[in-house]
Every structure is written in C-alpha cells, then in structure tokens.
Structure 1
Amino acid sequence: FVLPHTRGSSHGQTRIIRKAYEQDFYTQMMDECYKLWSQLEREAGVTLYRHYNSGFSVGAAGMYLRMDGEQNQTVIWKTFYDQGSLWNLVSVQLGRITKPFQIALGKISLGVFDGVSALDDVTFRNCSMPPAVKECPAHTHFHCAESKACVEQMQRCDLTDDCGDASDEQGCSPELQCSFEHGLCSWKQEQSGGDVFDWTLIQGPTPTLNTGPWKDHTLGTSAGHYLYIESSGPQEFKDSAVLLSRAFRPTVHRGGRKHCVFRFHYHMFGSHVFCLGVFMRTASSGRGHMLWVRYGDQGNLWHRKTLYLTSARPFQIVIEGTVGDDFNGDIAIDDLSFLDCEPHHGDLPDANTTTPSVTTPPPTVRPHVCPDGQFACGSLRECVPDSNVCDFSLDCSDGSDELYCVRERCDFEGGDTCGWQSNDSSLVSTHAFRWSPVQGESIHDGEQSHRPINDHTTGGPEGWYMCADSSNGGYGQTSDLQTPVMTSNGPQCTLVFWYHMSGFTVGSLQVLLKYGNSTHEVWSQSGNQGNKWRRGEMFIGIANNFQ
C-alpha cells in the first residue's frame, strides 16, 4: 500500500476499509470501529480531506450528512471504482446547517479481495459563526440581535441565516424571496412560447448521475427543494427553459436613484453543462438585455451571485437555462431574493407598444421666437446667443441651453451617459463592439480580470462605467464615444478621466478633437495597463465648435 498522505512516509496514519466479510464477528467489529472514528473526529474538531480508492474490485465509497430527527441521510460525496494509486483531494460544500448533524462515511466493496479505500487529512473550513462585537459599521453591516455578530447588509433577507439567530432574516417581505420550499412563490414559467420546456421543482439529487446537485441550498439536505432543467431527452441541444419574476417599479426617479439588488444561488455541474443567463426586460415579451451569463461546468457546488439592478421603467428579471449537447448538463437555481426593490402592481407593456398620439390644445400664448443667432430658452420670452449653448454655463434661467450637451462632470451612475454618445448606436446590433454603460465584472466566463469588478466612482460592483467589450469585436475594429458639439470653453479647459485597460490582447484607447470633418489625436494609450484604474489628463485650452 502506498505511503500515507500526511507525512508522505510509513510513519503517517491512515484509515483503511477493506472488503466486506461474510463472517458475523467482522460485522460486529465495524460498529466499534465507527465509534472510535467518531471519537477521533470530535477530538480533532474536523470537510476537506484526501481519499484513496484503488484496486480492481474496490467498489464505491460515499459521504453522508445525518441530521437530528431525520431518517433519510443526504449524499454529499461519492466515488466509484478504481481512482488510481494516488491520493485525491476532495472539497465538500456543507453550507449553513441550522440543526445538529453528523458526517458518516460508507463503503461498498465488491466480492473479490482486491481493493483498498482510505481517508486522510480531514479538515472543516469556515464552519464557525461570526464572532460577537460591540458595534458594526452602520452603513455597510447589520448588527445581529442576539449573537451580536456583524454581517454585511447584502446578506440581509437572502434566505440564509448568517447571524446564527436568524435576525438578519426577520422583517423580510415574502414577496421578494423564494426558497421553492412551497412552490414557485411569485415566479412564473414562461407561457407565451418564448421557451421550449419548463423548469422542474425537485428534492434531492437529479435523476442523472454525475450532473446536478445532491441537495438544495436552503436546507442543505435532500429534503429541500430547488428548480433545475433536465438535460436528458426529450430535450435537445440549445433548448431553453425561462423563469419570470414579478414586475418591479423603476429604480431611477426624479428625486434620484436607489439600489435594487437581486441575489440567487446557481449550480452548474456536469461535463455537458451549457448556459445559464439572467436578463432584465421592460416589455412583456422577449429577453431584454443581458445582466449576467455563465457557461460550462462550474463544479459540484452552489455558487452565489449578486446583481445590482437599475431601470428607469418598470421591469422584471428573466432567468434562462439552456440545454447542452448531452445528458450530463443539468442546471439548478435556489434561494432567489430581492433587496430594496419595490413591486410594481401592473403588467409590463407589449414590446411593440407605441405611444398614442395626443392632440395638443391650441396655446393661449403665442410661442416666442428668437432672432437669428440666438437660442430660444424653455422659459418664455428668453433668448441667449447661440455661442452660449453647450459652453458649460447655465445661461438660460431654466438651464435649457445645456440640456442636450455633455455635462461638465459624468460618473455614468445609473447608466446615465451625460450626453456622451456612441456614434454608431443605431447602425449596429446589441452584441456588436460598442461603448455602453455597464456594472461589475465581465459577463464572459474566464475574462473577469479583463474588466473592472469595481467602478472608480463608488469603488464597488454596484457602480457604473462605460465599457467597450472586445469579446463582441474583431481585430482592428473601432468604436467611438463622442460628445455633442461644444460651442466654446475657457482658456484653462482640461479633460480629466480614469481608464482601465486589462488583458493580453487589449487594443488602444485614443482621445481626439474633432472640428467639423477634421480630427486629430491629442492623447493615446495602447496594450495591457494592468487590472486597475489609471488617471488620464489632457489639456484642451480655448476651442470653439468642437467635439
């Protein structure tokens, strides 16, 4: 037998289980062995471990979760047949378990005496509750009522007891949460023909081996419920299932904007997992625009994702699971929750809805007209020279001379581009290489470090910035972001901005001044500049009628 894992020598200790014997006294000995095993685990305070499963007829081994008061045990890990003459590292996700529990290891041997299963270096990681403290940072954390621990505000009302006393889950609106323990809650299956099949509500493991979760995320046992898409027949490659949230009120108001957050857990395990996407739509049909997507096998784990939502119109969230090219492609979701989002009591408009024409009553006062060379302000009988329009100064009393101009300062928060325009926005498709306001990390798996996770303004993933995503472009392709024409500016005019250029194949960023049909470069940067924001500055000076 090979050397133990811990010391790598014959002096280390290893647990070994050999084949099951027919004699009664061997069976009786196993009870004593398990008692000793449990005693050692308690003393060690030990779900990370290494296993060894080798031999022609080694059979199978499995790890199980046993809960107080429940007869059925939950499978949390399994291995089958010969895994080679080496130690294999295994990580098992337990999650938040609110009841007393035990971990048990089971072994099934074949009838031939040729196989060994072994276990070594068992460790529990991140299993303790947060410590008690006197006070928490008021704006970013929640102070638990009884445990006195600090948890992040984003962990409130997310269907997980992070405090240990469940105080972070008290006072939450059931309209904004769904654990699927009592059905779909306010979520609905797509019924308008926008998908091929439906999400399935299930307990325990999915029917197909080596794909899908063995347990839900809410309870962490096979008794819990979750939704999944079945990738076996009759489903075919790229068939999709769509789940719809209830409608929500706009997050951008005249009085300002607020954060609305969507949290969910997803499980994508299997050699033929294809795609899970989350969209936001403001019409009653279609997908809307993509917020996030993942492709391929993400491991036998539940992953958490937080999305910050911003919309000037009523909206709903669309979750789409897409089938891969074989049966090992089940995808699951659980514990969907919204924070600081307000339900919209009404239906979203149809996608092809047009604004009805309104007959304007004849004005009681004749609209004012300004002489040539002057701009008519929104306020009655007020005119300013054309040269005062878009000059970074509010010359009209109502500020209308700067209404359709680029603003003096822009942080792009809420997706507001402040007058900056993509000059090809009407000519290219949604997924073409173009500038657009975005949040957080790249939606393209494997390219998370190419795009900033945090914006420069807020320093967090909820912040917005403009991004040209090269995943949608080809070599040498360009995309322009430009201002409207600015009539004039002062002698010390300077453009200051922050830029982020990360990735081995990143191209170049240029700043140009445009006078009519004439354009010349005044600043540029090329190549990978590292995964951080850098400051750019460019002196403009006196200029007239330029972009």
Structure 2
Amino acid sequence: MSLERQGRQLGDPLHDAVAGRICDFGVQDATTWCSWRPVSDEVLSRSSLPSQLTSWTLSMGANSLWVGGPRNDTSGDPRGGYAFHETSSQPGFDARMAVMESNAQEPTGASGKCLKFWYAIEGLSASELRVRVRNLQDTESMVIWQTRDTTRGDWKEGQVLYTFTDNHTLVLEGVPVEGVDPFNIFRGHIAVDDLGVREGQECIGLCSFEGGMCDWNNAATDDFDWKLGRGTQNPITGPPRDRNSGRSSLTGGAYVYIDSDFPRRPEDVARLESIEFQETDPTNPPCMRFYTFMSGRGVGSLRVLLQDVVTRRERVVWALARNQGARWLEAQLPLSSNTPFKIVFEGTVGTPRVGDIALDDITIVSGPCATLPTSASPPTSGDCTFEEGLCGWANPNVRQRLDDLDFIRIQSTENSFPSADHTTGKPNGHYMALESPEQKVEGDRAWLISPVMTGRRQVKCLSFWYLMFEPLTDELETKLGSLSAFIKREDASGAIILTPIWSLHNFQGLTWSFAQAPLRADGDFEVVLESVWGSAKSKGTLAVDDITIFDGNCPTVPDAAVVRAGDCTFTRGSCGWQNLTSDSNFYWNNASPSRRPVSMTDHTYGAQVGYIYFDVFNLNSRSQKLQLISPAIDPSADREPLCFTFWFSGFGSDGNTSLAVYQKQTDDGARINSIGSDIVQIWSHNIGLDALSGRWQFGQVPLLASTRFQLVVEGASFNGGYTLDDFKIYNGLCANIR
C-alpha cells in the first residue's frame, strides 16, 4: 500500500515527519500542519462520540493571551508556531477531546520507529496528553504513551519507541477533564511542538527488543547471557508472549530473558548493560520504566544498578526477588548520577532452578518518579507511592509525644477531595493525608518520618507531590494549616534537632502540585513531613503522594516554599529569633491562651496562639524599647536583592508607639549583642492616633547584602504594643512580592 501524503510535500527540508524531519509548525503568518492533520470528517465518522471530538489549533505565543496556549514555542520565540488545545468549556457544556493525526505510516520494521516531541500541559481543565497508534485496516488502536502531570510553565520532551506490523497512523489526543468535573470551566491548555517520526535507534536507551538488543549489551564478565525470545518453551515459568503483543495482535513482539535451566547453577549471574549516559540534570533526573516477568517458585532476583564509568563503582537502585506471578509487572525508578554512568540489569538464578526472568519495553522519560513496585526500593531510599504500604515511612510512637495526630493512608473514595491520588489518577489510588477528627484543635500536628538515611557529601533531593485544599479561602474565614519538611537529627544528648527545608501554608490550589527541596546532612538523619491544622473549622485536605529521594542538588520548588534563616510563623517557637532586651519585664513574648493581646488571633491560621507580641504599660510615661534579633542570614547565592515580609498590628493609647526594622552585616557570622552606631534602620511604623485595633497589616522591606547579616526588630511604647507574625525572606525585589 502506498503512503498517503498530506500537508507539506515529502521533499520539504523542514516539515516532513515521515522522512524523519521535525515539524515545528512554522512561524507567525506561515504556521503549518506539516504532514500532520487536524481532526477530519473521516475521523469523526469512525468515532462513536463525534460530538466530543474537536481539532487542535495552530497558534503561536504572541496570541496566547487572546486565544490561549503557551507564551512561547520550544525555542523561546513568541512568534514560533505550535499546536494546542484550549481545554476549558462553557458552563453546562462538555469539554471536547482534541485529535491530531499523522499521515499514513508503513509497517515500522523490527527496529521500530521513534516519535519525539515536546509538550506543555497547564491549567485546571487540562487532564492528559495521549499518543495512539491506529491500524488503517480497521478501527483498532492502542495507547503507546501518556502523561497527566503539569509541565509547570515549561516545555518537556517526550519520546516513544513503538513497532507495528501494518499500515497505521499516529494519533495525538489532548484530553480535558470530564464534563462533570467542576474544573472544566477553568482555562487550561495542552500543546505540542517539534514533532518528528524517526528511526527507532534515535530513541536512545529505549528498547522493545523486536529488532534486537538496541543500546543494550551482555556483559563480558558475568556467568551467562540474556537471550532474545518471543514466547516461552516452559508454560510454567516463562511469559507466553511479549508485553505489547498481549495488548494488540498487530504489534509483533520479543523480549529478553534469562533461562535457569541446565547448565545454570543457583547464584549464577547475567548482566545486561546500557550504553554510556552523561550525568543527569540534578534538578530534573529522568525516570526509567520497564516491564518484568518473574514467575516460578525458584525465581532468583533482578537488580538495577548504576555504574560509574570512571571508577566502575556500582550502587543498587532497584531490586526485586522471588515469584511475582505469571504477569508482566510494571516497574520504574529515578535515574540520578553526578558522573557519566551505565545502567545494569542483573539477573540471578534462584533455588531450585525453576523460574525465568524477562524484561521488555524499556523507556526513559523526563522528570523524577517514585520507585515501582515499592517493594523494589532500597530499604532506606525513602521512595514511596503508598500503593502497597508506607515503604518505611511511619507515624511516631505515641509514647514519644512528638505529635498529636497521624498521617493516614487513604483512597479518594474515602474522602470528599481530591477525586484521585497522584500516582494512578484514579479514585482507588492511595495517598497520605493529615487525620481530620471531628473535634479539631488549632495547631494539632502530625509527623510522617522517613527511614533512617546516611548523609554524605553528595547532596540529595527530596521530591513529592502535595495537595493543600480548602473550600473556604477568604481571609476572614477558616485557615487550612501548613505542610513542612524537616531534616531530623539527634545531638550527643539525644535531643532532637529539626532543620526546616520546605514549608507552605494554607490553600495552595485545587490539584496535586510538585515539590522538591535539597537535603544536606552529615551523618544519619531522617526526613520529617509535618502537617498542622490551622483553624478548628477547616474542612480541607493536607496530603502528600509519590515521594522520591535522589542524588542531586535541586532547587526548592515552588519558590514560596524556600525556608531561610529568619523565616518564622511562630507556631513552633521563635525559629532562632531572640530577645536582646535585658529587662525581663519588657520582652517580646510568644502568645499563649492565657497571655496575649485581647481579641488578637494568629495571622497564619486564625488561632489564639502562634505569633509574638510586646505590651508595655509604664506608669512613668517613659517609652520602653524592646529588641528582637534574628539568626545570621545568608545572602542570596547570586547576591541579588532579598525581600523581608511580615505582618504586624499595633495597639494601645500611646500615639508614639513605634516599630522599626534594622539591618547589620555580620562578616564573621558573630551575633549582634547590642544595637550600635553601625546598624542601619531600613523600615519603621508609628501608630499615631489610629491603632490597628486587632487588624493585621502587611509590611515588607528590601534587603541588600553581599555577606551574612542579621535583622533587629525594635518596638517602643509606654502604653501600647505590637504583634508580629509570618516572617518570610524572599529572593527578588519587594515589588515582585504579592
């Protein structure tokens, strides 16, 4: 059958997907579909629900505020073209799925074809991007690639290696949330750019084994080899066919396996090695996915190791042993290395020699992932999807009295929100949420503690997905609470030392969001995820899912979760801020239920406690000064400006009651013990005749520093005072803080 040519001609040097060229969808007034095509009458006629299909739209970044889509194409050019689907719909109408199809493709051959592309997913109404292969002889089609995660304002690269034995097309589907979903009216988009169908070997590291070993080779120093197979000769232990051909009769199929029959002996090892890869991005390591078949009562073990190509040192990053059932088991793990490396699959013969191990469909995708199955994680890795348990994470023992509530492992079917977990995207998926008793107490907290980990010079990165949702978000209504991450260690006396590394408060959105923070620790440590209820009236959800810990010095995500010395909500002490005042009668105090300004509630959550204050009443009508000093604060890494933000409220009858902020450089890191002439006032406020009467007011001040420094907050009054809360130091100019 001859190939049908659509769009640009085969000879076009830039826009021919069939010839292996990249379709960048043109530029400005010359945007083009290349050899791809939007939804056609033919496609609609094949669909059982034609009213729910629509076309992708050709556009460019310059039109994004007008019609939607990303602000730039993958090159960063606002005039560059791309294809996108606006996923929102009018109230009362069902959103439509956008369909785009390649021109006809011939059978791929044993080596397969590699589809490469870039994609962007944003907004509450955007659900999923899928790639299908569709048989031209009938209506059969099969999903070969899909993703649900937002790209957080960036373009991400996708690639998929596939084989097909008949003429076919490739179909890209932009899927919105379902019509019954309340998010379907909110703006969102799914976009693709730089589409190209290439030869199979251009999908580096990917392999379906139909055309051989691809970029994988048997090691020369092991006991025996992995073999290519198409179907087992042993119905008791081996897979009857490869993973893909079990889904479609037109995909063909092969896999690699180790045979435990004679002359193999128990503990014999076979190693399959990848080509050499360069060091991974420390902020965004890739995820390797594959399928394994481990069946038989004598199955040994399968391990995945990362080998440093210079030192030849290896570390185990995934391991599974014994019989896993007569099925293809989905597996995945993050790949992180700060040196060039190889990936090694190591299969070991078990006892008795009745059991085979097979591998199929190795893929590598962008972005970190939690290890699957969770039982394959190294014991102290900290990786967990919570689908099979807690993976070594645990609530503290009640006798330790470290918290008040528990994190509980639940499904969405047990909770009103969210509608699905992050791992599976389904209501029956599992995640961890802060316990929500009928009688909440403001400030009740729960800890979720990781397995013990060993610190070393190599910085690690903690990544996870979080949900902080509350139906009511008005400032005068309830306050949800907080979610924070700490490094937990013990000093020589056994006292717990907590170092905050990530923290967010109150409502953060309606969907699962991505988080990460660097882990820097010497010696043994644990990671603590702490969740705190704010208001006792809160009806919201504080939850985490898909925790991954990998080697890499990652930035904190999102920016608002960065924790600096000096940041403090005052719900857990004073965070290193200390009184400088020598007179114990005139101190900054932490609010308590029995001692606090009348009618004043915490700004963070609206609780009775969780802020600091001073309150002076001096019969001599002499103003009293009270100073509060911060811990030493580091400048930004690039010496850019910082912004110190806080909330304050004044009270009392003394119109001269005042509040001031000072800054002093501390080149040697020493503490300021008193306010001297070398300290600079950078902000001030005076009550005057109008006290704030229990109303919180926002304050901010720019900080310029090239070395370590400290801040001093000074209050003064003879009959009055101030309350303070929610100290936060941000990167950037104060004008950018909202």
Same fold (TM over 0.5): no
TM-score (norm 2): 0.31
